[in-house]
Amino acid sequence: MNSKYKFLLSNTGLFFISTFSSKFLVFLLMPIYTAVLTPDRFNSVDLMTQTANLLIPLVSLGVPNSIIRFGLDKNYSKSGVFTSGALTYLAGFVILLRFYPLIVRIKFIFSVPLLYLYLLCSCLRTLVQQFARAKTYTRLYAVDGIMATVNTLILVYLFLTKLKMGALGYVLATIGADFISFVFLSVVSGAWGYFHPSKKYIPLAKEMLKYCLPLIPTGIFWWITNVSDRYLVTAIVGRAAGGIYAISYKIPSIVNLFSTVFIEAWQISAVKEGRGKNPRAFFKNVFRAYQGIVFMAGAGLILLCRVIIGFMVDRAYYESWRYIPVLIMATVFSCFSSFMSSIYMVQKNGRSNLYTMMAGAAANIVLNLLLIPKWEAQGAAVATFVSYVLVFVLRAAGTKKYININVSPLFMALNCTLMGALSYVMVNELKGWRIIATVITLVIVAVNGMPLLAFVKSVLKSLKRRKNKSMP
């Protein structure tokens, strides 16, 4: 039991090193990009990369999800998994080539050949990266994340600052970093030594596609829930309100960053332990610890959001803090939904992930149309929150038949009520709001911190007992 937690914590730390460095790079390079590129050129390359990011799941047919899921399962051939994944990527890219005449007509893409090269290098890197995760080469994954960050910095400095290549240099820096990462991972992991095309892998390829294909529309519905409200706020309230609302997403993304790191590590543990004899206790304990950390982090960010946003943005955007508390609550339940999704992943049940996200997206659109005209941007934030609560409830109920982690409705309701009260006090600036908000935050920390501390103590005590037993 103890080795399970040690394995999970070790992987979480390694994934944090890899993911945080790449996410931090975005903020680090913004001054260079904005200094070298004019707004219209920056917009052109940004739209091109966003188009590529939209096309990547379609080109890959969602197979990266299958590589990690089937690659971690000892019942499946590693050669079969990698070969099926590589051939799926190849087929997707060949199909995309047939649409070249159509894509050329998209006016805001300043270079279609660059778009294809960007897609190719990104897909190749993802292929070997996911296979490295499936082989549980977490240290290699972390090293690659750091190397990719350093390579991008060097190439950006070379292409944009020294060679003055402008928009072309911006794109080539990303392409070059991805290609170097692909070569590095291929050599060190030996991934291509597992590439053996054979008819015997056809049943496995079909099973992998059956699992991952429903995850493509799942990603689209996730996009609707997360992004569509910004378009609707702009359309209904105005461009200025849409811009301010978009800024308010920056603080909740902090919670998402740490959650993403954990979920990447957790997926490995979930698959490894989820098919064992008694996974319930492990899943239950990890969820309770994760739940407590997320609630406390969310409450802390709500309390400090005005201070943080004051440092981050210009005065014209300062009012964006009013939407942050509710969006953080939405993010909290998005994190819980991702955890529940891992249970469907263990069971290779992509359809349930799809249906629950579809319900959330539908609710989001309906609530946006109802609430934005009434409460403007705050209505969009409330719609996002309710949508993610719905997704979490559906997944918590749907996963019971597989692994019942015994989510406590009363504990969830208590935390929700406290965070709702905290958000209400902050947004409406009630008399003495600073003191009231601080007290509510401390209550949330106490409610979640005490069980978390007891759990940590029990794990440490257990580890100590095991260590003593192993001593001669």
Residues 175 and 260 in one domain: no
> For 132-158, what is the mean pLDDT?
83
Same domain, 197 and 248: no
Question: For residue 275, is it within any domain?
Answer: yes
Q: Are 265 and 11 in contact (CB under 8 A)?
A: yes
**Whether residue 348 sits in one domain with residue 286:** yes
Is residue 428 very low, low, confident or very high in pLDDT (cuts 50, 70, 90)?
confident
pLDDT in tens, 189-220: 888 988 988 888 888 888 888 887 877 777 77
For residue 3, name the pLDDT band (cuts at 50, 70, 90).
Answer: low
- The structure tokens 């201070």 sit at 307
Check whether residue 324 and residue 398 sit in a common domain.
yes
SS (H, E, C) the chain: CHHHHHHHHHHHHHHHHHHHHHHHHHHHHHHHHHHHCCHHHHHHHHHHHHHHHHHHHHHHCCHHHHHHHHHCCCCCCHHHHHHHHHHHHHHHHHHHHHCHHHHCCCCCCCCHHHHHHHHHHHHHHHHHHHHHHHCCCHHHHHHHHHHHHHHHHHHHHHHHHHCCCHHHHHHHHHHHHHHHHHHHHHHHHCHHHHCCCCHHHHHHHHHHHHHHCCHHHHHHHHHHHHHHHHHHHHHHCCHHHHHHHHHCCCCHHHHHHHHHHHHHHHHHHHHHHHCCCCCHHHHHHHHHHHHHHHHHHHHHHHHHHHHHHHHHCCHHHHHHHHHHHHHHHHHHHHHHHHHHHHHHHHCCCHHHHHHHHHHHHHHHHHHHHHHHHHHCHHHHHHHHHHHHHHHHHHHHHHCCCCCCCCCCHHHHHHHHHHHHHHHHHHHHCCCCHHHHHHHHHHHHHHHHHHHHHHHHHHHHHHHHHHHHHHCC
**More confidently predicted of 262 and 386:** 386
> What pLDDT does 109 receive?
64
Same domain, 204 and 289: no
**Within a domain: residue 472?**
no
Last residue in a domain, options 174, 209, 244: 209
**Domain total for the chain?**
2
Highest mean pLDDT among 7-11, 164-168, 270-274, 337-341: 337-341
Lowest mean pLDDT among 35-39, 139-143, 221-225, 279-283: 35-39
What is the mean pLDDT of the segment spanning 136-143?
81
Q: Is pLDDT at 23 greater than 80 in this prediction?
A: no
- In this structure, the answer to whether residues 141 and 193 fall within a common structural domain is yes
- Are residues 182 and 311 part of one domain? no
Q: What's the pLDDT tens digit per position in 266-305?
A: 777 777 766 666 777 778 878 888 888 899 999 999 998 8
Query: Are 98 and 246 in a shared domain?
Result: no
Whether residues 288 and 426 fall in one domain: yes
Average per-residue pLDDT for the chain: 80
| pLDDT tens-place string over residues 368-391 | 999 999 888 889 899 999 999 999
Q: Pick from 184, 209, 234: which residue ends a domain?
A: 209
Residue 97 falls inside a structural domain: yes
**Is 55 within the bounds of a domain?**
yes
Q: Which phi and psi (to 5°) does residue 119 adopt?
A: -60, -45
Domain annotation covers residue 144: yes
Which pLDDT score, from 0 to 100, does residue 30 have?
A: 54
Whether residue 176 sits in one domain with residue 129: yes
CB contact set of 332 (below 8 Å; sequence gap of 6+): 255, 294, 295, 298, 419
Confidence of residue 1 (pLDDT cuts 50, 70, 90): very low
pLDDT, residue 25, reads 61
Would you say residue 80 lies in a domain?
Answer: yes
Mean pLDDT of 396-402: 86
**Is 60 exceeded by the pLDDT of residue 470?**
no
* One domain, residues 169 and 262: no
Q: Could you tell me if residue 199 is inside a domain?
A: yes
Tell whether 471 is covered by a domain: no
Q: What is the domain extent for residue 83?
A: 2-209
Last residue of a domain, one of 209, 229, 254: 209
Task: Kindly tell me if the per-residue pLDDT of 393 is higher than 60.
Answer: yes
Residues 132 and 20 in one domain: yes
pLDDT of residue 143: 84
